[in-house]
Structure formats: C-alpha cells, structure tokens
Amino acid sequence: MNGIIYIAFGKRYVDEAIFSARSAKAFTSLPICIFSDIKTGEDCFDEEIIISPEHKRAKVDFLSRSPYERTLYLDSDTEIKSDITDVFDILDRFDIAAAQDHCRKTSRWSLKIPAYAAVPYAFPEYNGGVILYRKGPALSAFLDEWRRCFYENRENTNGQDQASFRISLWNSDLKLHTLPAEFNIRNERLRLSLFDKAKEPGNETLLKPRIFHWHRLNEKPGFFSKFKNRHRPMKY
C-alpha cells in the first residue's frame, strides 16, 4: 500500500501538518498517517499514532514505523500543489528518493565530522523534508545507520539531520533516485524565478510545482505578510 506520513508535535507543527494533509487530500486519495504527541481528530488523517519524541528530528526514530509498504514522508511545513500519485512509480525501480538540498558539502560539518568530509563533493546533501521510500532489507539497514549516525554526531551538528542523512546515503546499498525540484520547492523566490517562466504550450505540467516546502504556508495572507521572510534563508 502507498501512503503519506507526517511526524509532527507541538501545536505549531501539528497545525502545519493538518494544513499540508488537507492540501494532499485535495489532489489524491492516498491514506495519510500522522505520528504526533496528541490526537488531532482531523479527518484529513486516516490514522494517528501517538509518540513521545525525544528531540526535534524525531523522523530518524519513526520513519521505520510507517504503516505503508511505500511511503512519502513530508515535513509539516509543506503544501501539495498538484497530483503527486505517480511519484510512487519511482519505487518500482528505486528504494528511496529525495531532492538535492541547496548545500553540497559544507565546511561547517566537514571540519567536525570525518565521515562527512570523506564523501565526494559531487554527492550533495539531500533534503530530508520530502523522502519517498519502500520497505525492504536495504531500507531497514539504512534507517538503522542513519539513526546511529545522527546520535553519534548530534552534538557536532546541533541536532540537525542533514549531515548524517548524507553520510548514511553514501554508505548504503540503496538504489537512490533524485527527485526533480518540483517535488521540493524550498522557497517562493525559486518558484517565481524559475517555474512560472517555464511554460510550454500544450504541456501545462512541465515544471509544474508539486510540493512547496517552507514555513508559514498555512497562514492566511495579511497586510503584514509582505514584510515576513517567505522563504528559508540558506546559510551555506
């Protein structure tokens, strides 16, 4: 079975996940499960699993518990903008898929983590906010290693999971697919500068945004919204 999962806790992130799940339901009939510290009772979720997360990056602890054979994990701060059902066809040939992050190989992790520094620059970081994966021995081994690597480097990375994700993917036996940027648009500036200009007559789906991924997507536009930072600044 194919399905979508969220791992969200705390009111801010649960509210974001509800908004994202509702946007998904507008385009797909896929079942959706949320792992959370509270019961939301929202009909956009087909299943709710109560968890007791120990840190902000709880995905490393709970991705393996997905109730679906083929899973699309989404960060709470996402919005589905069109039908994404066929993305699961990728898993007919690959074990896992994600979009490349803006970072390739940052010195702030290379100087602290030898295993990160050892990975070639040409193998970039992958963003952990949109991850497509299928269950299997290779996937289980990868998730175990990612969890181990995350905790081993938790202090050096200030609790972030991107560095350990990159290391674990590089060292895994997974068949990895790189998702097009349409499936993980990280800021509104990118959408405006690239995707809205790429129109081809007779092919309206070309570069059509599939998933937005930045905070405050669930907020209603207001007078002060134009003064807010509507994209995630990249420090590297």
The CA distance from 124 to 109, in Å, is 13
pLDDT at 84: 95
Helices (H), 74-222: 107-110, 114-117, 137-152, 162-171, 188-193
Mean pLDDT of the chain, nearest integer: 89
The CA distance from 31 to 228, in Å, is 33
CATH number at residue 182: 3.90.550.10
pLDDT tens-place string over residues 73-129: 999 999 999 999 999 999 999 999 999 998 889 888 899 999 999 999 999 999 999
Q: Sorting pLDDT into bands at 50, 70 and 90, what band is 55?
A: confident
Q: For residue 23, what is the enclosing H or E element?
A: helix 11-25
Is residue 232 in a domain? no
List, as one string, the DSSP characters of 184-229: SB-BHHHHHHTGGG--BTTBTTTT---EEE-TTTTSPP-GGGGGS-
Domain containing residue 142: 2-227
Is residue 168 in a domain? yes
Is residue 105 in a domain? yes
Average pLDDT (189-200) is 63
* Cβ-defined contacts of 135-140 (< 8 Å, 24+): 135/66, 135/69, 135/70, 135/71, 136/95, 138/95, 138/172, 138/173, 138/174, 138/175, 139/95, 139/96, 139/174, 140/64
Is residue 128 in a domain? yes
Is residue 235 in a domain? no
- Structural domains in the chain (count): 1
User: Strand ranges (DSSP E) for 23-105?
Assistant: 32-36, 47-50, 70-74, 78-80, 96-100
Is residue 234 in a domain? no
Closest CA to 78 of 6, 10, 164: 6
Is residue 236 in a domain? no
Is residue 72 in a domain? yes
Statement: residue 204 has pLDDT above 80: no
pLDDT tens-place string over residues 6-38: 999 999 999 999 999 999 999 999 999 999 999
Q: Sorting pLDDT into bands at 50, 70 and 90, what band is 193?
A: low
